[in-house]
Structure formats: C-alpha cells, structure tokens
Structure 1
Amino acid sequence: MVAAVPSVAPKPVPPAPTPPTLAAVTATPESAPPSPLPSQPPPEPATPAPPLRRDRRFVLLAAARTVSVLGNGFARVALAFAVLALPGAGAGRLSLVLACQAVPQLAFVLVGGVIADRFSRSRLMVVSDAVGAAAYAGLAAMVLTGHAPLIALCALAVLAGTATALFSPAMDGVLPLLVPATRLQRANGLLRVATNSSMLLGLALSGVTVALVGAGWALALNAASFLVSALLVRGLRLAAVPRTAATSGWADLRDGWREFAGRQWLWVVVAQYSVVVAALNANAGVLGPLVAERDLGGARAWSVLVAAQALGTVAGAGLTARLRVRRPVLAAVLATFPLALPLALLAVRAPVAVIAPAMFCAGVAADVFGVLWATTIQQEVPEEALSRVSSYDWFGSLAFAPLGLLAAGPLATRIGAGHALAGCAALVVLATAAALLAPQVRGLRSATAA
C-alpha cells in the first residue's frame, strides 16, 4: 500500500491590526475607552445535504439497478433449469454454458475498466445493458422454440458475459460521482437494499414462473429489464472523467495496476476472493441445483434457498448502511467465514428448513462484506483510476470462477456432489484465514468512521 503523506496543519495567521481611529490617536492611555470590536454577522448554518431519496440522479441509478436485478433474479434460476431441461442436457453441458458466460467476464473486464476511465461511465452502462438485452432475448427465443444448439447457447452466453464485463467497472465508478465521500457507505448500503430486495422478489417468483410458464419466459423478462435499465441510466448523463494527458490503453492499464498493487489490503482480499468466488459459483451454478434436483425437491426448493440468501442480503445491506467500523477491511474479511456454512449443509443433504437459515446468515455476511469493501475502495482509490482498479478487483476475484464452473460438473460425476460441496466449504475457510495474515487487512482504518 502506498504510504499516505502526513498532512501538516498550517500555522494560525494572526488577525491584521485594526487601523487606529482619530480618538485613539489623540486620547491618553488612561482616558482612552476600549475600542469596541466591529460587529460580525453570525455565521450562516450549514445547509444539510438532502436525503439520498431526493437526489434525482441517485434515484435514477437505484431504479435502474433495481429493475435490472429483478430480471437477473428470474434468470439466475431460469438459465440453469432451462439448460437442464433441454434434450440430452446434463451437468457437463450446464457447466460449459455457465463457463462461457464467466470467461468473457474475466477476459474483457480490464478493457471495461480502461474504457470507463476514458469515457462517460453512464454511456458505457447504457451500451452494456443493450448488449445484455440482446443476449438474453436470444436465449429466451431458443428456449421457447425448443431449437437450442449448444454452440448457439455458448455464443449468447459469451455475449451476456461481455456485457457484464463492460458494465461492472463503470458501475463501480459511478457512485462517487453522485454522492460525497462521507455518504458513500450509506449510499452503497441503500443501493444494495433496493437491489437485494429486487433480487429477492425475482427469486421468489422465479421458481413459480419456471414451473408455470417455463424458463424461456423468465429469460425474456430479464431481457426486458435490461432495456428498462438502459433507459433509466441514460438520464444520468455523466461526463467523462477529466484527464491530464492523453495516454495509450496499455499505459492506462499499467497506471491502474500500480494503484492496485500498491495497496496490500486490496490485492490480498482479491486473492482471497478468487478462491471464494470459484467455490461459491460452483455451488450456485452447478452443485446446488444438482443437489436440489435430486434430493431436495427441484427448482422450487432451490429458489426457496436462494431467496433466503437474498433476504439475508437485504438485512445485511440495511445493517451496514448505518454501521460504522474503524477497520472495515478486517470486518469485511471476517464476514466471509459464514459463507461456508450453507455449502457444508448442502454437502450432507440437510433439510431445506435447516439450510435456509444458513443461507440467510450467508446473505447477511455477504452484504456486510460487499458494502464495506465497495466503500473502502471508493474512498481509498483516486477517482480518476477507480474503474481501472475496480476492473483489477473483478479480474482477480473472477480468476478461478470459470475453472470452478468447469470442474463442478465432472467432480460431481466422479466423487459426488456432496464431496465436491465439502471441498468448496473448506476452500472458503482456508482462503479467508490466510487473508487475515496480512497486516494491512487487519490494520487499515476508515477515514470517515466516527
């Protein structure tokens, strides 16, 4: 981490002497009355910042994310069961399609960071939403018509992953342009409360939608949500970040890397989450749905579990919006440990009534981490490099995600889904314990916590 230069408090400047009056010049010291100080108008009270719910641009951003995440709630369940319902489909095909979605997220996220720091972040988000809408509309059409060649499914999954790669760094850099640094944690928390509530609603309805009308219509709803999000984000009209000099894309990447690698707390936690995300993606994408399909009752049971986790994220975001911690990175890393509990319970085929509370607790922990982590990056990283640093965060965190998805299906076939889930739980615990060894993870203090 680049050491901060200590600030030196300026010396107080004495007030300028008051020009002497005629009476003061002619009077003797004994007879001169004290000269009254000139009357000063009372300082005007500072105008409090308006609530975030009255900030037009913040409301537009929150509405766009709420609508988009509502559609993703449908797609999160629908895509897995849409692929599994196709003739001849199994765990291997599902792993391949989901890996095709994850690989471009990894391959193009650094490009997305450079573009977001060069041009208007809101405009890039609009383009990304349009690409995502096209990808999910194509997936919905193939599922609804029953004509879904594997190569076409993979191509559209690649397109959807590319849209996410371009969107994510831009989104991470937008919020500091809308709210001051002292309100970032509250803004992050409120934004996550809105999006997580939307995800909860989408997940709660997704199982019913898939069961009643099929996965194709759920994917079509997701495509429509991308279009609505694009229209709302278009109203932000954020200008490009001012640049001091024209540089090449490679130079921008090098500058972003220096900002990223110079902070130990940042790259250590990203390395931790490269393992954690791989384990969680293997569960959410392949292993969890397989266990639900075989032992827990199918799509409805899995949607109940995922909805319980989503409910926990709402509670976690609401809690963290008001939480003040002096060591946010330490608190965020410690909050990762509960994410292993649902994996362990799924491994032993615990009843849904037991797994659901564990999923809720994991959801709370996940958003405690998410809000603290996002706020710390937004406060510690210079704004002109924020999207590039965020892209390295995404790149590192997703580094092993495709491997986790590709390996999940074959591992479930060879050693069983239960053993694979137990291994994933162990990886989460070990990676989190290793991150706590870094001094800056334990010692970085918040600049704004009271």
Structure 2
Amino acid sequence: MTSPADAERRTRRPAWAGRNYTLLTAAAIATNLGSQGALIASAFAVLESGGGAGDVGLVAAARTIPLVLFLLVGGALADRLPRHRVMVAANALNCVSQAAFAALVLTGDPLLWQMMALAALGGTGHAFFSPASEGMLMSSVTDEQAGRAFALYRMAMHGAGIGGAALGGALIAVIGPGWVLAVDSAAFLVAGALRAFLDVSHIPPREPGGGMISDLRDGWREFVGRPWLWTIVVQFAVVNAVFVAAEAVYGPLVARDELGGAGPWGLALAAFGAGTVGGAVLMVRWKPRRLLLVGTLCVFPYALPAAGLAVPLPIAGLVVLMFVSGLSVEVFGVSWMTALHQEIPEEKLSRVSSYDMFGSIGMIPLATALAGPVESAFGRTPALWGCAALIVLLTAAVLAVPDVRRLTRRTDTEKIAAGPADSPASPAFPDFPTSPAPSADAEGAVGRAG
C-alpha cells in the first residue's frame, strides 16, 4: 500500500526547482509551442502573398532590427525594475503583434510593409523580454544544480519546439499560416499570465545608480573584461547571422523547390529540436570540466544544416544533419549558461546579458536582408556553402583563445575559496596561470551567445 509520504516524495519537485523555476519552465513551453510554428508561418505568409527570397529576408530583418536597437535599454531596465514586470509587458506586446499579423493574413492579402511593421513590434517585445528572462532564470537556481537545472529547462523548451515546428508545418499545409500565427498569439497570452506570478522578493533591492548611461558603461566594462566572453560573442555574431540566413531565408526556398513544401521543412526543424532535447538529456548527467572547450568543439556541427541544404540532401538526410547539429549545439548552450552562472553576480545579469545578445544578433538583420541579393549574385548553393564555411572557420579561431580552453567548472571547494562571484575579475583556471585581470570595478558578465 502506498503511504501519503511515498506519494508526496514521488510527486514533489526537486528542492532546487522552486516556484520561479517551475513557472519559467512552464511559460517557456507555452511560447515555444507557438513560436516555432510561427517562424515557419511568417516565411510562408510572405511567399503565399507573392514575395520571394528578398521579401522573406526583409520581414526577418524587420523583426531583428528593433531587437538590436532596444536590447541595451532592455538590459539596463531589467536590472532596475522587477524583472517579471518587464517580461509580462513584453509578452503582452508580442501577443498583440502576433494577433494583428494573424488577422492580416486571414482576412486578405497582406502587404509587405504591414508584415514588416508587425514583425518589428514583435522584435521590440523580444528586446525587452530576453535580458529580463535570462537574469530571472539564472537567479532562480543554485550553484550546485545550475548545470542540471539549465539542461532540464532547455530540454522542456526545445521539446515544446519539436511539437510546435512539426504541428506548425502541418497546419500551414492544411489551413494556412494565419491560424498558426493566431496560436502563437494565444501562447504569449498564457506565458504572460504565468510570469505574472514570479516572485522577486529574494532579489536584493537595487542601489541607486548614476543613471542608465552609467549602468550601460558598467555593463560594457564587465563584458570586455573577460576574453572568453567577448570572443565567443564575436564568433556568434557571424555564426548566428549566417545560420539564420540559411534557416529562415534559404531553408523555406529549398523546401519549396526541392523538398515538397512546408511540411517536410517543419519536420527538419523538428529534428533540430529533437537534437537539442537529446543534448539537454546528455547534459543532465554529463558535467564536462572544461566547459567552454567542450562547448566550442560542439559548435562545428552547427555548419551541417547549411551544407545539407546546399547539396541539397533528401529530407531524410537533412533530418539527420539537423538532429546532430541540434544535439551538439545544445551541449554548447548548457556549458555556456553554466559558465555564466558560475562567474557572474546576480545584479549584473540582465545588463551584461544585453551586451552579449546585442553582439550575438547584431549582424542578423544584415545577413537576412542580404540573403536574397547574395543568392541573385552567386547562386543559392554557393551562398549556403559560404554559410557553412564561415561557421567552421570562426569556431576554429575561437579555440586559439587561451581563456576559452582553460575555463573550468569549479568544485564546491573552489567556489568557497574564490569567495563571492564578483570578487575575482577573471575565471578560475586551476591547472594554468590565470589571465590578466580587468579593471578593479569589473564584477562579471553574462550573455547568450548561442
């Protein structure tokens, strides 16, 4: 017979998975279910309205430009205001913009400028949401369980993406992209409601500062003071740009011309999501000592999807490549977040995260806007091979940075010996001499290069 105590032990979540972590995970599941399908839907909405590669790229760029413009302001704001309020307001904006986009597609032939304007509103919401979200997540877990917590969070998020991509591709083929955009709007509504219940009482009140410019200046000093941080962000400035160009612009075109349309392309994107889930499952158990060395080595397979589209491979082969690249880059993602959580003080999380994100996505609008003209000038296949080559070359270059090879996961004993996270200005490298420290007022950095 099962005792009440036994039942409670089976149903009770782990001690480290507190209320905030649970709410953040549930909200991420909701948004990823909607957003993965919406990414496909927006591209096919442009194509069905008579647009081509250049138009798809322009809509993608319109979404990213305000994200780049407002990220730094969003990071500074999230370190000054309660982060959950910033997140809820951003979700509300995304809900409204996607609802309007859906109505536009469902009620008639949308014009290119209208789709670009609504995509820009969505990007603005994301600019304020992302730094607040990353800071909130990292402040919601303990040092001892950080790697496992991030892996499980990303597993849930990407698992939802699998279903969202596959279902979105199927729904677009059956009922069109407008309804998929409407589902995404509803998902933002649900996620915003969940995030409204986040508890920020554990976060110490912010001391009055010298204003937003001063805050941004402090964040910049934190960012440039860590070679391992800024070099990887520079790497991903290009890597993310060419990957997004391959996936968001060339991918739907290859799918339309060679693979059979939205359904197979949705399956390929779902395979990438399945790979990320596999990588997260792996990282629940695996704790590599040299976090960034292992993570960076796992960025090389990120070039595989562009190469597969360049051939182009049949859908079965492309699905395999997407799965492998998703798995390997997720190893990087968890290692990256664990390194950041280990090194960065809580009060700097959102601010410096915005610098990281700014660098990581800054070139995406340019890459997506140029994808069409590059295809016209050189052809789609050479453009895709160029994307793959840039990813490989830049990843190899990052491995030459000593701090990337040396940054290690600290044991509990080493963390106690090091003191508070904002005491050392550079990461601990027990087996090697430490690199020169940045200026005395540098306290840490955080970001999301992957």
- Indicate the residue corresponding to 2:276 in structure 1: 313
Q: Is the 8 A contact 1:120 1:241 kept in 2?
A: no
- Indicate the residue corresponding to 1:225 in structure 2: 187
- Counterpart amino acid of 2:116? C
Bigger CA drift: 371-380 or 159-168? 371-380
3-state secondary structure, aligned to 2:116: helix
TM-score normalised over the length of structure 1: 0.87
- Indicate the residue corresponding to 1:114 in structure 2: 76
Q: Is the 8 A contact 2:17 2:141 kept in 1?
A: no
2:124 maps to 1:149: no
Q: How many residues align?
A: 401
Q: Structure 1: any 5+ residue segments left out of the alignment? A: 1-48
**In 1, distance between residues paired with 2:115 and 2:344?**
38
| Structure 1 residues 114 and 170: CA distance shift in structure 2, 3 A | same
Larger Rg: 1
Q: Is the 8 A contact 2:242 2:387 kept in 1?
A: yes
| Structure 1 residues 448 and 79: CA distance shift in structure 2, 3 A | farther
Instruction: Note the C-alpha offset of 1:242.
Output: 2.3
2:5 maps to 1:65: no
- Indicate the residue corresponding to 1:440 in structure 2: 403
**In 1, distance between residues paired with 2:412 and 2:76?**
31
Q: Deviations over 1:60-82 (max 9, x none)?
A: 11111100111002102111111
- Counterpart amino acid of 1:372? S
2:361 maps to 1:398: yes
**In 1, distance between residues paired with 2:207 and 2:67?**
29
| Structure 1 residues 166 and 52: CA distance shift in structure 2, 3 A | farther
Instruction: Note the C-alpha offset of 1:55.
Output: 2.6
**In 1, distance between residues paired with 2:98 and 2:208?**
39
Match of 1:419 among 367, 382, 390: 382
**In 2, distance between residues paired with 1:389 and 1:156?**
28
Q: Deviations over 1:66-122 (max 9, x none)?
A: 001110021021111111100x31111111111000111111111111011111111
TM-score normalised over the length of structure 2: 0.87
Determine what percentage of the aligned residue pairs are the same residue. 46
Q: Is the 8 A contact 1:339 1:366 kept in 2?
A: yes
2:218 maps to 1:260: no
Q: Is the 8 A contact 2:46 2:112 kept in 1?
A: no
- Indicate the residue corresponding to 2:326 in structure 1: 363
- Indicate the residue corresponding to 1:236 in structure 2: 198
Q: Structure 2: any 5+ residue segments left out of the alignment? A: 1-11, 414-450
Q: Is the 8 A contact 1:137 1:220 kept in 2?
A: yes
**In 1, distance between residues paired with 2:355 and 2:17?**
33
Query: Runs (4+) of structure 1 moved beyond 3 Å?
Result: none
**In 2, distance between residues paired with 1:177 and 1:187?**
12
- Indicate the residue corresponding to 2:371 in structure 1: 408
Instruction: Note the C-alpha offset of 1:233.
Output: 0.5
RMSD: 1.6
Bigger CA drift: 125-134 or 375-384? 375-384
**In 2, distance between residues paired with 1:350 and 1:176?**
39
2:66 maps to 1:136: no
Q: Is the 8 A contact 1:301 1:352 kept in 2?
A: yes
- Indicate the residue corresponding to 2:313 in structure 1: 350
Match of 1:388 among 339, 348, 351: 351
| Structure 1 residues 52 and 204: CA distance shift in structure 2, 3 A | farther
Instruction: Note the C-alpha offset of 1:449.
Output: 8.2
Instruction: Note the C-alpha offset of 1:407.
Output: 1.0
**In 1, distance between residues paired with 2:168 and 2:13?**
37
- Counterpart amino acid of 1:258? R
**In 2, distance between residues paired with 1:351 and 1:323?**
33
Q: Is the 8 A contact 2:74 2:128 kept in 1?
A: yes
